[in-house]
Chain A
Amino acid sequence: MSTDTGELYQEIILDHNRSPRNWGPLADASAHVKGHNPLCGDRLELFVRFDGDRVADVSFVGEGCAISKASASMMTQAIKGKSRAEAEALFERFHALVTGTGDAESQKSLGRLQVFSGVARLPMRVKCASLAWHALHEALQESAPNPSPPTDAR
């Protein structure tokens, strides 16, 4: 197998593709977002339950390639228990990783998610890897508590 694809289809990705974690709808979700990649027809539904500022639970269902499924599966593991701000920051760093725009330090902080770094060399697959993350980004925005009214600085 060529180096680029070998780097991408590592055992951890294949494993999450075979047995995705946090699979199935979430009955008491506070946010439910549908992601769709019109280019390839892949579909994904993300369910998030917030407890105050925290991601208390998260799950997904969908139909897609190994990259998109594994990415969604590993994302749910990575964001469970995180605060909104932390989850949003992870989204930013993951996006930078798969588009090849992040620095080494931000990449390192992604831990196991670094397995997707090979996607940066396959521009046609960036959408697959980031489908679930974009759904998360949307869920965070949709369910954001009303911003506190501006306070008078004086």
Chain B
Amino acid sequence: MSSIVAPTGITMGTGVPRLDPHAVRADFPILGVSARGKRLVYLDSAATSQKPRVVIDALCDYYSTSNGNIHRAVHYLSERATTLYDASRETVRRFINAPHVHEVVFTRGTTESINLVATSFGQAFVRAGDEIVVSQLEHHSNLVPWQLLADRAGAVLRFVPVQDTGELDMDAYRRLLSPRTRLVALGHVSNALGTINPAREISDAAHEVGAAVLLDGAQAAPHMEVDVQSLDCDFYAFSGHKMLGPTGVGVLYGRTSWLDRMPPYQGGGDMIDTVSEQGTTFAPLPSKFEAGTPDIAAVVAFAPAIGYLQRLGMEAVASHERDILAYATERLAEVRGTRVIGTARHKAGVLSFTMEGVHPHDIGTILDGEGVAVRAGHHCAQPLMRRFGVPSTARASFYVYTTREDVDAMIDALHVVRRVFG
């Protein structure tokens, strides 16, 4: 008889392994706290995820046993820190199936990853009259850097329109592409609506006109399998803190052929080869893009976060979130006057909604009083809010530790909102 030892939270059976969120929850100390005297119901993982014990311990262990600066001294601690830091890079490489480890650049987060490309790629390749394609769906961090670049270079931003379902208009996208298109910068998953965009189709069409493709993966990498080779993108940006890791670490994956031809983003230590008064030759990839001392502890503790997700299995993670999303969408319909914004066929675990006669901020405050944490606001996506004619929405977002009981608690709290506002 063969026996399979399943990791915490996973039940093996036929087909896709199922994730047991109740078992997962035991690994997250913060989920035991009470909020406003109630059981904490955390439905804001799209803003930042909570951290499992292994990640919290890794941060503590790093500072207790291994803290030194990387890639510098010959002493014991520097060597230890460097080994751990480089091991994290390899962990990330495997997680996204990047061909080469030097194509994984550590940044402070998705925002910095995108700004790096806007600055360095922009300097090398974007000229007056060139076009950059973005969409109405973007988080401000995948829009403002391109506006700044367009201003600097005299380039033009073109916007892919969004349909009523919250899906990109792919026909319009294809029509926007031309030999003038230098770069396509689109979200893989929308933070505000949860729409999963057809990333491979986006890449293929862009490459046909010779444009490079950047995917903002901040809301995708935490929730589904990401393989940069099968997506065939040129750049992929994401953050550690939305996928069980610490704040202060993000990733930019970039194809060698582009990264090699891009100038450094920032100058400083660790990114140089030799420096003289007259000039500097730069370090090879990825150090060229990692000036200064990074958040070493965060990078080191990011590895166990990825390890945790890999033990659960990204397929099981995605399937669990689909299940919770379907349940929440169905139950939300019970609450009078609610309207779901974003009804795409393929959605990640995000439920954005409005409630007739009640401003999302008031929903947020009353839910908070019941211990339920949701986001209320424009989700850093003001053009998208305007597209749907709402100033803001309430947003519940789900993750590996979200249970149906959490959804029930939110629905109960929404009934309280309804009672207050009539």
Contact = CB atoms under 8 A, between A and B. Distances in A.
A1 B361 contact: no
Contacts of B18: none
A67 B361 contact: yes
Main secondary structure on A side of the interface with B: mixed
Query: Which of A6, A41, A63: most chain B Cβ within 10 A?
Result: A41
Nearest to A4: B369
Contacts of B416: 1
Contacts of B362: 9, 65-67
Contacts of A39: 377
Contacts of B261: none
Interface string B328-361: 0000000000000000000000000000001111
B370 to A, nearest CB: 6
A: contact size bracket: 20 to 34
A67 B365 CA distance: 10
A106 to B, nearest CB: 25
Contact of A1 (B37, B369, B385, B422): B369
Contact of A4 (B36, B358, B391, B392): B36
B36 A2 contact: yes
Nearest to A6: B369
B378 A2 contact: no
B420 A9 contact: yes
B376 interface: yes
Contacts of B385: 41
Contacts of B36: 2, 4
Q: Which residue of B38, B361, B377, B416 has the most chain A CB atoms within 10 A of its CB atom?
A: B361
Contacts of B376: 40
B368 interface: yes
Interface string B404-422: 0000000000001001111
A8 interface: yes
Contacts of A5: 365-366, 368-369
Contacts, number: 58
A115 interface: no
B69 interface: no
Interface string A44-80: 0000000000000000000111110000000000000
B382 interface: yes
Interface residues of B, number: 25
Interface in B367-392: 368-370, 376-378, 382, 385, 391-392
Contacts of B370: 1-2
Contact of B378 (A8, A41, A63, A64): A41
B369 A2 contact: yes
A32 B313 CA distance: 58
B162 to A, nearest CB: 18
A128 interface: yes
Contacts of B422: 14
Most buried by B among A1, A42, A65, A67: A65
- A2, A40, A42, A43 — most chain B CB neighbours (10 Å): A2
Contacts of B392: 40-41
A82 interface: no
Contacts of A6: 369
A98 B151 CA distance: 41
A122 B36 CA distance: 11
A125 interface: yes
Given A2-B38, A14-B420, A65-B361, A41 B369 contact: no
B361 A8 contact: no
Given A40-B376, A40-B377, A122 B365 contact: yes
The 10 closest A-B pairs by CB, nearest first: A5-B369, A2-B369, A65-B361, A65-B359, A41-B378, A66-B362, A41-B391, A65-B362, A9-B420, A40-B377
28 contacts: A1-B369, A1-B370, A1-B416, A2-B36, A2-B37, A2-B38, A4-B369, A5-B365, A5-B366, A5-B368, A6-B369, A9-B420, A40-B361, A40-B378, A40-B392, A41-B378, A41-B392, A42-B361, A42-B391, A64-B361, A65-B362, A66-B362, A66-B421, A67-B365, A122-B365, A125-B361, A125-B365, A128-B361
Interface of B: 36-38, 358-362, 365-366, 368-370, 376-378, 382, 385, 391-392, 416, 419-422
